Amino acid sequence: MLDFVERDLKAMAPDLSEGGRFKDVSVIYRVDPMLGNSTRLIQGSKLQPSESPEYSLVSERDGFCPFCHDTVDSATFPFPTEMVPGGKISLGRSKVVPNILAYSTYSAVGIYDTARHFLTLSDFDQALLADAFKAMGYHTQMVRRYDPQVEYSSINANYLPASGSSLIHPHLQSSNDYVPLTTQRLFLQTAKANPRSEDGRTVFDEYVKAAKEMGRAVADTGRIDWITPFAPLGFHEVWAVFKDLSDLTDLTDYDFDEIAYGLSKVLAAYSDENLSSFNFSLQGGGHEGYEVGYRLNLRIVSRSPLQPLYRSDVTYFERLGLEAMIDLAPELWAQKVAEKFS
């Protein structure tokens, strides 16, 4: 039984329109029954831009880009042929290359289109997204065949510096590992703690059913339910929950087409709201996923609007995986700080 905890904290705040007179303000506190995170729903808009983003800040290529068509072959490397036959993965306009930053046992970068250095959110159409997802899915399948001990896979994206991305050229990233992301682990724990009902329904099914009953349903595209979560981890968050698939290796080209279709609609909605940046994460449940009732899911959030000289240090890993990526061991940092005390 899912428990949707909600409480109005009844805050007080000065009202600028009334000379700073304090007024009661509703602050809704929620705890999500799937991940256990708490969220505060506040009044007023913290992120919403009033005008369209100024894309000229980033749309023109300025110097070297490793993912553009004239440099990608010389700036990237092939995969080991024992993992990827021929060493390369390409599909349509997309290309998958090894990630030079190792943040999981097997990681890769997927480039949507080497010929397009910049995309607005309305440029992310179904065909573009589908090819990139399929190419990344092929890489995941090859990794899992190469190393059957790998259990936990995800396909993710940061877009533009406000999302934590270090490059403008649009790209995806994958993570294939022996250990789960925090959100994968929490979803699995929730599934194990709530076994399937006698008619085969999982806790994910119950969560989606509750979303529909509570007014958080977005769309049903066939094999995927699109909903908004009870207690979001980020702004404008949308979930895509598969009805009967548990792991990335279960996905067919048809499934990737459906993901791409729905995601293109979410990004179009972001565009209508003058948003420009996002993170998403498509996460599977590993070998045990189907057994415990895990449902393959994609979650997407918007990030801060485009502005000069701003890059967030929070990526999809932290925002949607609840996994911190730290570039300096705490033991080394302790030594550096200790020097200031000596």
For residue 326, the model assigns a pLDDT of: 53
Residue 119 lies in a domain: yes
Same structural domain, 187 and 250: yes
Across 50-54, 123-127, 221-225, 293-297, least confident range: 50-54
Same structural domain, 123 and 28: no
Task: Categorize the per-residue pLDDT at 123 as very low, low, confident or very high, splitting at 50, 70 and 90.
Answer: very high
pLDDT above 80 (res 28): yes
pLDDT above 70 (res 324): no
For residue 328, the model assigns a pLDDT of: 62
Q: What are phi and psi of 281, to 5 degrees?
A: -150, 120
Same structural domain, 94 and 35: no
Indicate the pTM of the whole model: 0.91
Percent of the chain with pLDDT over 90: 67
Q: What angle do CA 312, 156, 241 make, to 5 degrees?
A: 120
Pairing between β-strand 297-302 and β-strand 235-242 as defined by DSSP bridges:
antiparallel
In this structure, the chain runs to a length of 342
Q: How do residues 107-117 score in pLDDT, each as one tens digit? A: 999 999 999 99
Task: Categorize the per-residue pLDDT at 55 as very low, low, confident or very high, splitting at 50, 70 and 90.
Answer: confident
Task: Categorize the per-residue pLDDT at 42 as very low, low, confident or very high, splitting at 50, 70 and 90.
Answer: confident
Residue 227 lies in a domain: yes
pLDDT above 70 (res 336): yes
Mean pLDDT (the chain, rounded): 90
Residue 342 lies in a domain: no
For residue 329, the model assigns a pLDDT of: 63
Same structural domain, 27 and 66: no
Residue 74 lies in a domain: yes
286 or 336, greater pLDDT: 286
Same structural domain, 108 and 28: no
Q: How do residues 180-189 score in pLDDT, each as one tens digit? A: 999 999 999 9
DSSP state of 80: P
Token output for 167: 């490059």
Residue 190 lies in a domain: yes
- What's the whole-number mean pLDDT along residues 38-58? 74
User: Whole-angstrom Cα distance, residue 293 to residue 291?
Assistant: 6
For residue 330, the model assigns a pLDDT of: 63
Residue 10 lies in a domain: yes
Residue 211 lies in a domain: yes
Q: What are phi and psi of 59, to 5 degrees?
A: -70, -25
Same structural domain, 171 and 319: yes
pLDDT above 60 (res 47): no
The range of the structural domain enclosing residue 135 comes to 62-330
- What's the whole-number mean pLDDT along residues 256-281? 92
Domain total in the chain? 2
Same structural domain, 118 and 21: no
Same structural domain, 23 and 85: no
Look at residues 293, 249, 289 and name the one whose alpha carbon lies nearest to residue 148: 249
- What's the whole-number mean pLDDT along residues 308-319? 73
Q: How do residues 240-254 score in pLDDT, each as one tens digit? A: 999 999 999 999 999
- What's the whole-number mean pLDDT along residues 302-312? 76
Same structural domain, 31 and 100: no
User: Whole-angstrom Cα distance, residue 106 to residue 114?
Assistant: 22
Task: Categorize the per-residue pLDDT at 325 as very low, low, confident or very high, splitting at 50, 70 and 90.
Answer: low
Which residue(s) pair with 259 in the sheet? none
- What's the whole-number mean pLDDT along residues 225-246? 92
Same structural domain, 81 and 162: yes
244 or 55, greater pLDDT: 244
Residue 52 lies in a domain: no
Same structural domain, 14 and 86: no
Cβ neighbours of 330 (radius 10 Å): 8
Task: Categorize the per-residue pLDDT at 44 as very low, low, confident or very high, splitting at 50, 70 and 90.
Answer: low
